[in-house]
Amino acid sequence: MSKTLIIAEKPSVAQDIVRALTPVAGKFEKHAEHFENDTYVVSSAVGHLVEIKAPEEYDVKRGKWSFAHLPVVPPHFDLAPIDKAKTRLNAVVKLVKRKDVTQLINACDAGREGELIFRLIVQYADGAKAPLNKPVKRLWLQSMTPQAIRDGFAQLRSDQQMLGLADAARSRSEADWLVGINGTRAMTAFNSRDGGFFLTTVGRVQTPTLSIVVEREEKIRKHVARDYWEIKAGFAAAAGEYEAKWFDPKFKKNDEDPDRRADRLWDEKAANAIADAVLGKSGIVTEEAKPSNQSSPLLYDLTTLQREANGRFGFSAKTTLSIAQALYEKHKVLTYPRTDSRALPEDYVPTVKQTFEMIAKEDLPGPLRELAQHAKKGLKEGYVKPIKRVFDNSKVSDHFAIIPTLQPPKSLTEAEAKLYDMVVKRFLAVFYPPAEFMVTTRITQVAEHHFQTNGKVLVNPGWLAVYGKEAQDEDANLVPVQPNETVANEHISVNALKTRPPARYNEGTLLSAMEGAGKLIDDDELRAAMHEKGLGTPATRAAIIEGLILEKYMLREGRDLVPTAKAFQLMTLLRGLAIEDLTKPELTGNWEYQLAEMEHGRLSRDSFMKEIAKMAERIVRKAKEYDRDTIPGDYATLATPCPNCGGVVKENYRRFTCSGADGASEGCGFSITKIPGARSFELHEVEAFLRDKKVGPLEGFRSKAGWPFTAELRLVFDDEIKNWKLEFDFGDDAKNGEGDGEPVDFSAQTALGSCPKCKGRVFEHGSNYVCEHSVGAHVTCDFKSGKIILTQPVSHEQVHKLLATGKTDLLDGFVSNRTKRKFKAFLVWDEKEGKVIFEFEPRGAKTPAAKKTAAAKKVAAKKTAAATEE
């Protein structure tokens, strides 16, 4: 009897499919890696099971970071199993090849990446001599409720319909490989010419995104504050007092000077003269009142949801996506979250009414209960109708906007409830009438001087009622005046102010800029026009931001994203090499647009990939052929003088160098690298280093063999060269990390315990606790753990406990590299990972259903401590 194999993206989705199909297809029997009944075999991947790689003859050998092996532009890509997923891959491939399996259904996530996961598995299985030749259908789910899954099976898409998406998925993957491998290795080879190993990652999307942040930071640094003055006055009318601000009615906007405003004066004497002329005088009031309507914002797509959750709750883009995915996949209360659409299909009106009914009738938990009244009112007043701004097929791509499903939430964590509340409120509000205001502009004229007062009175809350705004705030009311009433000036003030630089990006504003390919766009319609030319996709933008932070190109300072010295150095290099492809967001955004065109069959895969290959070759050629000593750029002059002669120290691409007392000569020869141990100096660090002759301990260094380490840097005088030089203060760690050091004598120390890897003895050594067999001339083990991890000192007592029991006490002095916040954790030895990791305290569930087993909490809380990065 022939059967159909259904391949989901994750085991949990496979289980949901089995539950949904059981009532209509019969009971399934559970096996080790799949479920099966008389009709279906249901299995799943665990994300990507295979990865693309170049054919062996084109592959870049590990560790060969020279131009000799570049560029790498293979004629095709082979596939290789991902090491951690080999067991699952073999199980799925075995099912694909079963003779009784005559049809395949791709039930991976309904998007570009889900299409790729399935296609690569089938391609890998099809690598045998005899091709599979098994027909393929596509399950396309917007919601994970049982009925939605059954509806999806009733409307399976053909393989032919999915070929455009498959081409775009493969092209995206291969393009990222080509640009990433060639760009990263070329820039790393360039930066490592003077020795060492300075890993310099670049990417088709990550580098233009970084460029946006760096350009904003450059504007902030170059901003010169300008003094200006504002005049505020208080006037007494018959009904009471009101405030007004001076403005110039003849003002015209000047794009060349964006600091200029109608209410700013640039001369203090002129400002004081106006104040003197107005003080105590009478004026005439005129005002114009106009009704104004404000419609609800559109429904959420993923990027808008991430932006607003970041602004309201401080959630990172990654956190918002993770919560939304759980609400979709685990709780089944939201539709598919990885969407770029803010509209619904035109035939979805009945479903929306049913969703309103669910919200109105269900006893939702906690604060969500208050939303029932708004759903009831919406049904009673007939608000749900086919409105074009909500129901529009032309604005729905593969997925529609994020809305609640017909499944009521039973128990959500606090964070899940917050995000669900946001989506439900927006869903209800978009069908409510516009909010109605009366907007008043009042002009008070004293002689030739004009003052303006603006008032906005809420007449009818409309959709704002869903958000709890039923009445106008008291402080927004204006005292009434009569037409052409004469008012008296009571007081006036001249306020001295300074222009401010543009604000740094946070995750919300950066997501918006990525969506608009470098342009920060708040207007819904403009953003909609640009979204197909954005950087990355809604599903990938969070990962891009996290990747830039992981690679130390950006840091989180509170909610701000701040580029590091490494980021500036990369931008200087790419600009200096004239590799504009990797720095211009608009160009990369256009590539994303081309991928979208490919999805819809309007662009060939072959022509797109040819352009990407040309770009990869050009990147390598520019770096390889560059023959000057330094890269032109906007470099700093340090405030701290040369430690050797007191001259001026200036920055160039690779070094900080003395340039003599006049700042323009060869100087005394003092010079230090900008990237000791593959870690870029921040300007404030090098200033402190020259001033104090030491800095640290600092994290993020790497030895030539790639070992991460923490160390202090010292500036020491070398009698041989008669000048100062930089040295690491970490004992023999660097040599020992490479396994070619001198034998280490531990006879004067008492062992702290037995190595969990090889049972050798563990001692303190340099800035680490190490196995005796991991240092010296003959290295046979690699166990080591830092004496300081994320600023938390780890005492001998705690190391002894870790080695004896596998776990330290709860330590409370860790500081996250990413968020700069303190946190508490245990250090534990993970046998499977072969390293020391963090384990966090189990936290009590916010709602009853958030309870987990202790074991599940332990697994969920693990993070690697060996890399000292949270």
| 3-class DSSP string for 76-117 | CCEEEECHHHHHHHHHHHHHHCCCCEEEEEEECCCCHHHHHH
Query: pLDDT digits over 234-289, tens only?
Result: 999 999 999 999 999 999 988 788 899 999 999 999 999 999 999 999 999 999 99
Q: Which amino acid is at 748?
A: A
pLDDT on residue 585 = 82
pLDDT exceeds cutoff 50 at 733: no
Pairing of strands 40-44, 3-8: parallel
The pLDDT of residue 767 = 74
> What pLDDT does 363 receive?
79
Label residue 385 exposed, middle or buried (CB < 10 Å: 0-12, 13-18, 19+): exposed
Q: Cα separation of 415 and 320, whole Å?
A: 9
Residue 395 has pLDDT above 90, yes or no: no
CB–CB of 7/108 below 8 Å? yes
The pair phi, psi for residue 52, each rounded to 5°, is -80, 150
* 697 prior amide bond cis, ω within 30: yes
Q: Average pLDDT in the 692-716 region? A: 78
**pLDDT value, residue 146:** 87
Most confident of 487-496, 551-560, 762-771: 487-496
Ramachandran quadrant class, 55 (left: phi over 0; alpha: psi -120 to 50; beta: rest): beta
Q: At what angle do helices 317-329 and 11-25 cross, to 10 degrees?
A: 20
Residue 447 has pLDDT above 90, yes or no: yes
Which pLDDT does position 865 carry in this prediction?
A: 42
Going by C-alpha positions, the residue among 114, 98, 86, 91 that lies closest to residue 32 is 91
Output the CA torsion 666→669→672→674 (10° steps).
10
Q: What is the pLDDT of residue 842?
A: 72
Mean pLDDT, residues 826-852: 69
Residues with catalytic function: 336
Neighbours of 314 (CB within 10 A): 14
Q: Does the structure show a pLDDT above 60 at 854?
A: no
**In Å, how far from its chain's centre is CA 607?**
30
Query: What is the spatial distance between Cα 364 and Cα 103, in angstroms, rounded to a whole number?
Result: 42
- What is the tens place of the pLDDT at every residue in 622-648? 998 887 767 888 888 999 999 999 999
Query: What does the pLDDT read at residue 430?
Result: 96
Q: Is the pLDDT score of 864 beyond 70?
A: no
Task: For residue 191, name the pLDDT band (cuts at 50, 70, 90).
Answer: confident
How far is the C-alpha of 347 from the C-alpha of 144, rounded, in Å? 19
Query: Which H or E element spans position 811?
Result: strand 811-815
Going from the C-alpha of 763 to that of each of 710, 725, 766, 770, the distances in angstroms are 17, 30, 10, 6
Q: Measured between alpha carbons, how far is 225 from 496 in angstroms, rounded to an integer? A: 12
Cα dihedral 860, 866, 867, 870 sign: positive
Contact 674, 705 (CB under 8 A): no
In terms of Cβ atoms closer than 10 Å to its own Cβ (0-12, 13-18, 19+), residue 736 is: buried
Other CB atoms within 10 A of residue 149 CB: 22
Q: How many CB atoms lie within 10 A of CB 412?
A: 26
Mean pLDDT of the chain: 86
- pLDDT (tens digit per residue) in 778-802: 778 888 888 888 878 898 999 999 9
Cβ neighbours of residue 229 closer than 8 Å, sequence gap 6 or more? 264, 265, 266, 267, 268, 271, 494, 495, 496, 497
The pLDDT assigned to 647 comes to 92
Taking the alpha carbons at both ends of the chain, their separation in whole angstroms is 52
Residue 653, Cβ density class (10 Å: 0-12 exposed, 13-18 middle, ≥19 buried): middle
Q: Tens digits of per-residue pLDDT, 58-106?
A: 766 655 567 888 888 988 888 889 988 889 999 999 999 999 999 999 9
Least confident segment among 9-18, 362-371, 458-467, 502-511: 362-371
Q: Which of 83-92, 291-300, 727-736 has the lowest mean pLDDT?
A: 727-736
Q: Which residue has the higher pLDDT, 417 or 855?
A: 417
Q: Which amino acid is at 593?
A: Y
How, if at all, do strands 282-294 and 784-786 pair? Answer: unpaired
Q: What amino acid is encoded at 79 in this protein? A: L
CA distance to 292, 520, 654, per residue, from 465 (Å): 17, 29, 59
CA 705 → CA 346, 678, 736, 737, distances in Å? 59, 11, 10, 7
Return the minimum-mean-pLDDT range out of 147-156, 306-315, 493-502, 577-586.
577-586
Q: pLDDT: is 118 or 837 the higher one?
A: 118
Q: How many residues can be counted in the chain?
A: 870
Q: In the predicted model, what is the mean pLDDT of residues 117-134?
A: 81
For residue 869, what pLDDT is reported?
32
Q: Flag whether pLDDT at 870 surpasses 50.
A: no
Local structure of 448: helix, strand or coil:
coil
Q: Is the pLDDT of residue 866 over 70?
A: no
Is the pLDDT at 709 greater than 70, yes or no? yes
CA distance linking residue 302 with residue 310, whole number of Å: 12
pLDDT of 670 strictly over 50 = yes
Main-chain phi, psi angles of 534, to 5 degrees = -80, 170
Measured CA to CA, the distance from residue 729 to residue 17 in angstroms comes to 58
**Of 14-18, 51-55, 807-811, which gets the smallest average pLDDT?**
51-55
Looking at residue 145, what DSSP letter applies? S
pLDDT at 706 (0 to 100): 57
Percent of the chain at pLDDT exceeding 90: 50
| Residue 849 confidence (pLDDT) | 41
- Residue 686 is predicted with a pLDDT of 92
Lowest mean pLDDT among 15-29, 253-267, 317-331, 359-373: 359-373
Query: What pLDDT band is residue 735 in, cutting at 50, 70 and 90?
Result: very low
pLDDT score at 740: 44
Rounded Cα–Cα distance for residues 101 and 309 (Å): 45
Distance of CA 440 to the CA centre of its chain: 41
Block residue for tokens 């300072």: 557
In sequence order, the 6+-apart residues with CB closer than 8 A to the CB of 68 are none
Please tell me the predicted confidence (pLDDT) of residue 479: 87
Question: What's the pLDDT at 860?
Answer: 39
Residue 618 backbone zone (phi > 0: left; psi -120 to 50: alpha; other: beta): alpha
The answer on pLDDT for 501 being more than 60 is: yes
Can you give the pLDDT at residue 377? 94
Lowest mean pLDDT among 64-73, 431-440, 595-604: 64-73
Backbone angles phi, psi at 137, to 5 degrees: -120, 160
Residue 858: the pLDDT is 40
Count of CB atoms situated within 10 Å of the CB of 454: 12
pTM for the model: 0.72
Q: What pLDDT band is residue 157 in, cutting at 50, 70 and 90? A: very high
pLDDT higher than 80, residue 824: yes
Q: Cα dist. 105→14, 100, 101, 706 in Å?
A: 12, 15, 11, 43
Residue 734 confidence class, pLDDT cut points 50, 70, 90: very low
pLDDT at 712: 85
From 689, 608, 602, select the one nearest 641 (Cα to Cα). Answer: 689
